[in-house]
Structure 1
Amino acid sequence: MKVLVTGSAGFIGSALSLRLLERGDQVLGVDNLNDYYDVGLKQARLARTLQHPGYTDLRLDLEDRDGIARAFAEHRPERVVNLAAQAGVRYSIDNPMAYVDTNLTGFAHILEGCRHNDVEHLVYASSSSVYGANTRMPFSVHDNVDHPLSLYAASKKANELMAHTYSHLYRLPTTGLRFFTVYGPWGRPDMALFKFTRAILAGEPIDVFNHGRHRRDFTYIDDIVEGVIRVLDQVPAPNADWRGDAPDSATSSAPYRLYNIGNNQPVELMHYIRVLEQCLGREAKKNLLPLQPGDVPDTYADVTDLVSQLGYKPDTSVETGIARFVEWYRGYYGG
């Protein structure tokens, strides 16, 4: 297939692009290489895919309506994976318009590109953050998620609503993936594992929010990519049993689906830190702090639909995943 991947220099996008290329697909990679975090790391990720003859590199902003339209019209991708977004819960508190520009306006341009170019299937990144104030665990895609706690979460919920509208009006098959705390080699420097590793190796203290008591469904990058590929290969059909008087949030009478992709094994942050300390052979100096605005105490993915419909369940333990990250980090940065 010819697959358009946005955020192709990003953490998940670069890993997904590699997997698609390795299995023989053509990849049209779209990224703007913005400076939200280290551009050098993005370029190093991108270098892994540029060497493949099946990879086409485009430097574009999602907000560039005409540029995105030209990319679709010229390259005619059969399927699309939208991973480009302004990420980060805390960043959204001080920089809300960045999320409106990329996550809302930019996503609308992707939807329009799919609509006008007969794309077979749009898969897009949502987030576990959409569960917001929900406290019933594990989080289910069949539950209502109308109480986000950050603009980042609200923008991801909005993406799900926008996608459903296009599925309904234009019969565009769309699938949203709610990712749960992705980590691993080539990860984002603004994420906890990256920041903790850098600080511990430098002998600096780490900030541990909620006094380390909150739990996260940490999900290893390879598990995320496997889930994305399985979803990409299964184009959703309308749910014939869907009823408007008892609506199911995860499906529709339109060709629309939502899935959680999480490890289904929430881990307390302090345990996560202890595993990292063991892998580094050093003890962290910890600043114990309260829960940050916009954060939620716990995340825990119900992946029943992923298992029953796609035959897949993420299962990489944090012990294995963190060890692989530390090995990569020392190889990439030295020491």
Structure 2
Amino acid sequence: MKVACITGVTGFLGSHMARSLVRRGWEVHGLKRSTSDLSRLRDVAEHVTFHDVDRESLDRLFDVRAPDAVIHLATTYGRQDEPPSQVVATNVVFPLALLERAVRSGVGMFVNAANTYTLDYKYLQSYTLSKQHFTEWGRLLTPSSMRFVNLRLYHPYGPGDHPSKFVPQIIRTCRASDADILLTPGEQRKDFLYVQDFVTAVHTLLDGPERLPEGFVTLDCGSGRAVSIREFVETIHRVTGSCSELRFGALPYRENEIMLSQADPAALRALGWEPQVSLEQGIKNILQEDFGRD
């Protein structure tokens, strides 16, 4: 049985990844805090071995048996006014210690969910800088015996995401309100990727490591299609049957708003991966799983 170690296992991405690995017969070890909420994993928690990183050393995980793969999904965005030191501790110091231990133990693959923002976007500067920092450490420290996949993940969405995120927030507003919904002009174009398509992308990497170059490599993980925020919101509005009025242009853009964010998934596609879930189907899945309706 192959062994995977997932950071951020109780989060949006981590819970979907853990559930899929368990169903495929992997032994899953999840790194979390002692205070983490396990509700996203209630159906598979008994099949996951949890390690509280604030209470035990990483050595306990690696000394018994080193995992075949580490999947690093934990992150802090700084949206809750966390100081830069806390953002760096989560996004640089912790994964760096994990990478060092993985290298010493001969782990074959380290998958890092990487950032796609630039420092021009000031609302997430601490997050962006810290993620870029760890990426460079990965480039520096990865030996030829390991495959470090720096997976640049574009705008994942799906069931179980935090209610404050853009997609669940818009769905909830469209469902619950007949009042006007104030929006920017909505010309920003983003590459939205359904969470299960992200999971299958990681499986593609895990199932065929020999097809990847040795050492450090960066791959884009996205659909390759950027849709406007206006189109995306209008799709949610239609699928939810909302009676609210969408007032595009009622709000200004943020300073240095990112107007185009689009992946180039050619390298992943060359490995046999293809995204399968359309925007409309993804929204319907969220409605069914998070809101209990078709």
Give yes or no for TM over 0.5. yes
TM-score, scaled relative to structure 1: 0.77
- Range with greater deviation from structure 2 (70-79 or 225-234): 70-79
Match of 2:258 in 1: 296
Match of 1:256 in 2: 216
Measured in 2, the distance between the counterparts of 1:159 and 1:236 equals 24
Match of 1:57 in 2: 50
Q: 1:75 to 1:85 in 2, by over 3 A?
A: farther
- CA drift at 1:95: 4.0
Q: 1:213 to 1:60 in 2, by over 3 A?
A: same
Secondary structure at the residue paired with 1:9? coil
The answer as to whether partners of 2:148 and 2:215 remain within 8 angstroms in 1 is yes
Task: Note if 1:77 corresponds to 2:67.
Answer: yes
Task: Note if 1:114 corresponds to 2:76.
Answer: no
Q: 1:101 to 1:205 in 2, by over 3 A?
A: farther
Task: Note if 1:166 corresponds to 2:141.
Answer: yes
Task: Note if 1:182 corresponds to 2:151.
Answer: no
- CA drift at 1:73: 2.3
The residue type equivalent to 1:81 in the other structure is I
Task: Note if 1:194 corresponds to 2:168.
Answer: yes
List gaps (5 residues or longer) in structure 1. 135-146, 240-253
Match of 1:47 in 2: 42
- CA drift at 1:4: 0.5
Q: 1:219 to 1:69 in 2, by over 3 A?
A: same
Secondary structure at the residue paired with 2:209? coil
Instruction: Tell me the number of residue pairs that the alignment of Structure 1 and Structure 2 aligns.
Output: 290
Measured in 1, the distance between the counterparts of 2:206 and 2:257 equals 30
Task: Note if 1:314 corresponds to 2:275.
Answer: yes
Deviations 1:205-251 (A, max 9, x none): 65534x21101100001100000111123336885xxxxxxxxxxxx
Measured in 2, the distance between the counterparts of 1:45 and 1:238 equals 32
- CA drift at 1:196: 1.2
- CA drift at 1:148: 11
RMSD over aligned Cα, in angstroms?
Answer: 2.9
Q: 1:325 to 1:148 in 2, by over 3 A?
A: closer
Measured in 1, the distance between the counterparts of 2:176 and 2:76 equals 28
Measured in 2, the distance between the counterparts of 1:267 and 1:299 equals 9
Q: 1:160 to 1:234 in 2, by over 3 A?
A: farther
The answer as to whether partners of 1:92 and 1:151 remain within 8 angstroms in 2 is no
Match of 1:31 in 2: 32
The residue type equivalent to 1:303 in the other structure is P
**Percent of residue pairs bearing the same amino acid type:** 24
Measured in 1, the distance between the counterparts of 2:29 and 2:82 equals 33
Q: 1:207 to 1:106 in 2, by over 3 A?
A: farther
TM-score, scaled relative to structure 2: 0.87
The residue type equivalent to 1:28 in the other structure is H
Deviations 1:60-104 (A, max 9, x none): 24xx7x62233222442221101111136xx28774333211001
The answer as to whether partners of 1:263 and 1:314 remain within 8 angstroms in 2 is yes
Measured in 2, the distance between the counterparts of 1:185 and 1:238 equals 30
Q: 1:67 aligns with which of 57, 63, 88?
A: 57
List gaps (5 residues or longer) in structure 2. none
- Range with greater deviation from structure 2 (67-76 or 310-319): 67-76
Task: Note if 1:104 corresponds to 2:78.
Answer: no
Measured in 2, the distance between the counterparts of 1:207 and 1:71 equals 48
The answer as to whether partners of 1:7 and 1:30 remain within 8 angstroms in 2 is yes
Secondary structure at the residue paired with 1:128? coil
Q: 1:272 to 1:33 in 2, by over 3 A?
A: farther
Match of 1:245 in 2: none
Match of 2:11 in 1: 10
The residue type equivalent to 2:49 in the other structure is T
